[in-house]
Amino acid sequence: MKKAKTVLDIRRQYEEGVRITMLTAYDYPMARLLDKAGIDIILIGDSLGTVVAGYDTTLPVTLEEMIYHTRMVVRGTEKALVVADLPFLSYQVDLPSARLNAGRLVKEGGAHAVKLEGGVAMRDTIRALVDIDIPVMGHVGLTPQSVHRMGGYRVQGRKEEEARRLLEDARAVEEAGAFSIVLEGIPAALAERITAELHIPTIGIGAGVHCSGQVLVTQDMIGLCDKFSPKFVKKYVDLSEVLGEVFGTYVREVQEGAFPAEEHSF
């Protein structure tokens, strides 16, 4: 068995005040790179719907697709904790189907934990999964599966009433037994307050620096997705530009007969 991080290691790290690192991966090579770089948690996000499959939202992503991608990531991971997203409609319908679908991500996909979106409304669901020993990461704030209710991908919790509700949501996730929670697209001051009130690690994305850890969608931070990039994304490298040049060079060299050269031939 691989000696991967567990939720207990993440807990210890949180208690020791060491910031938690998380990035997304959807396949074997990316998982290997992240794992070798020492990432704490690899998330198979349902963001694969937008950054890999090319959908406008995460809503069409199916459980079968999540299992397929989770398997690839698990094969490429030695040390990181692997968390897989429960896609839209795989956990909201009823508790038995939530248990079954989360169980499939663990049993067939090989994930160590699952993530689901929602706060107070998901309390019983989180509890039901935790009760059958499936660790759960919560996710509140800008929850992409709620895009139609939110009227787009907008920062949440700017108004006092909204902020109060988000705090209740985060508390509900903790009370239900989640081992950690993603705070997405909320003001930094609110994320700081939630982080201070909770006793589980908060992982921020577009939520400022005061969270217990940070997550980004890898395709965004390496510039592999040339669609709209939110303000909170730091592009560490622009791979679209680099690869655009590489592919252009290949096309030209093949057209000119410069590739393959002697050393690439038998």
Catalytic residue positions, numbered: 184
Tokens at 240, concatenated? 């679209």
Q: Which is nearer to ligand KIV, 47 or 195 (by Cβ)?
A: 47
Q: Which is nearer to ligand KIV, 102 or 182 (by Cβ)?
A: 182
Tracing tokens 């904790």 back to the chain, one arrives at 81
The DSSP result for 135-155, as a single string, is: -EEEEEES-GGGHHHHTSS--
Instruction: Quote the DSSP letter at residue 122.
Output: G
Q: Report which residue type is found at 14.
A: Y
Q: Which of 213, 217, 167, 214 is nearest to 189 (CA)?
A: 167
Q: Report the chain's terminal Cα–Cα distance, integer Å.
A: 42
Question: Rounded to an integer, what distance in angstroms lies between the CA atom of residue 111 and that of residue 178?
Answer: 16
Q: Which is nearer to ligand KIV, 39 or 261 (by Cβ)?
A: 39
Q: Which is nearer to ligand KIV, 80 or 217 (by Cβ)?
A: 217
Binding site for ligand KIV (CB under 6 A): 24, 43, 45-47, 85, 139, 182, 184, 205, 215, 217
Q: Residue ranges of the alpha helices (H) in 16-135?
A: 28-36, 48-51, 63-75, 95-107, 123-131
User: Please, which contacts does 224-233 make with residues 24 or more away whose CB atoms are closer than 8 Å?
Assistant: 224/51, 225/50, 225/51, 227/50, 230/153, 230/185, 230/206, 231/206, 232/185, 232/205, 232/206, 232/207
Tokens at 81, concatenated? 């904790």
Q: Which residue is nearest to ligand KIV (CB)?
A: 45
Residue 47: Cβ within 10 Å count:
21
Q: Which is nearer to ligand KIV, 48 or 98 (by Cβ)?
A: 48
